Every structure is written in C-alpha cells, then in structure tokens.
Structure 1
Amino acid sequence: MTGVYKYINYYYFMQLMEKEVPTFAGLYWADDRIDQVIYLKEKMPEYHYIIAMGSSILGYMAEGFEAYSMTAMSLYPQLVKEFYDYMTQYKIKEAYAVREKLYKTIYALFGKEKYMDYIYTMKMEMDKLYPFKMGPVRKPITSNYFY
C-alpha cells in the first residue's frame, strides 16, 4: 500500500537476497504485473512464487503459477478450491465460471456491507462465519518516506 514496489527492480532484489539470505526460498507476489513475475520465474526457476492477486488469478494460473493466496480463500474456500481444481485440470471455461461466481459473491458482500475497505469488510464477514473474532483493522501506513 506504500507504492514502494513501483521502484524496485525485483530481479536485482532477488539476486541480493540469494547472496545475503541463505534461507531465501521465493517471492510472495501481490501485483497485477504478470509479465514481471514471469520474467523472474524464467530467470530464477529454483525459487517458489506465491501469487496474491485474486483479480488476475486466471491469468497467473494460465501462465503456470500454481501457488496462490488471496483474501477470499478465508471466506469462500470451497469456491477457491473448485476454481483451482478446474485450472489444474485445464478446464478453463469451468474455472472462469467459478471465478465469476466467486467475484459476484465478493461484490455482493461489498454491496451488502457498503464499505469500500476490503480488509474491514472481510474481517466483518469472517466474524459472522467463524467462532473467533478477527480483531480490529490496524491503521494504514501513511508515511511518505519512500516517495
């Protein structure tokens, strides 16, 4: 949320991590720039790449990324698993239909709760679905240090 990612050369970053951090295992990618992470995966295939962009997950999985994490997994795991299973079976039309259902469900949630902050809305929904409380949303980082 800080916008720092716009200024990072990820290939250089991963090369530095490789040199400096012996336990470095991969990257958690939360960005819609599919081309950049494809480049990284081609240059450094020995690492793990976890994708965290639900809006682009169809494209990422079509490019061969299988590990992903998205907020909706906590709320609607059955739909996410169904989507994943279709994609790994190369059933794109079925996966697309499930993805559309998932996003219609998410959009309906936002419309019902009338909040545009997805973290707040999802925490409220999780409080309804599960027996434990998620706790309050933390305040966002507002520093302009990196700009």
Structure 2
Amino acid sequence: MIISILNMKGGVGKTTTTLNLGYALAQQGYKTLLIDNDPQGNLTTGIGIEEYEQTVTDTYLNGILPIHQLSEKLHVIPADITLSTVYNELSNKVDANFRLFKSLKAVNKDYDYILIDNRPDAGILASNSILARSIHVFS
C-alpha cells in the first residue's frame, strides 16, 4: 500500500506523521519504505541519514531507487535540495508525472507500506506522489 502524506500548508506535521507512522509500521513487523519527496530533506535528516550518494532526484531523472536500509523492516529514499531541479528538468517531458510510479513498480511488491512525505505544493512532485498510489490498479 502506498500512502502519500500531502497538505498545501507547511508546518502541519507531514514529515512527523510520515516518520512516526513509518517507525510504528516497521515495529509492527511491516516492511516499510519511506520516501522523502521534499527538497528540504527534513525526513532524511530527521531519520538520521547524513551520508548518501544518491537521492530521490536520481529516481526522477534516472529511474534509480537509492534505498537505504535503516533496519530489517525500515528503508528510506533520501532527498536534498537537488530535488528542486526536478521541476525544470521535467517540465517539458511527456511522462513527467509518472516518473515515481514507473520506478516504484519494480519494488512495490517488496514492501507492505510505502509512505511518501511531500512538500506543501501541487506541482510535479505532488503529482508523482499521488499517481504512484495507483500502482496496485495497474500492476
């Protein structure tokens, strides 16, 4: 199941909800993937990831899923400020809103839950997050 945590207002607890729900699901034995879909990278820093070579930006631009294993049941795809470049890079691409969907199809069945933390925005990143939720319909 893919859950996108979205709200158009900042500071309402999207990252906190994603982080705490992810930890709780993993503690209950569910294999959980957290995706930081916000250029501020607060989920990444909040979960304690300090070193990484690739981020969710690589997912959008190259189809790479840089999954970091935090525990047996909890994994994360980090983000940083480079994610803000995705808007410009994908603005004229036909499949711009389906990049995350396409990449997650490869691992969707490996996880009980995939939680996506989003920035307060209704652009390409939010569209990708919403459309990724439809994987179960097309798989």
Q: TM-score range by the shorter chain?
A: 0.3 to 0.5
Structure in which a larger fraction of residues adopt helix: 1
Q: Which has the higher contact order (CA 8 A, sep 6+)?
A: 2
Q: Larger Cα Rg: Structure 1 or Structure 2?
A: 1
Structure in which a larger fraction of residues adopt strand: 2
Scaled by the length of structure 2, what TM-score is found?
Answer: 0.33
Scaled by the length of structure 1, what TM-score is found?
Answer: 0.32
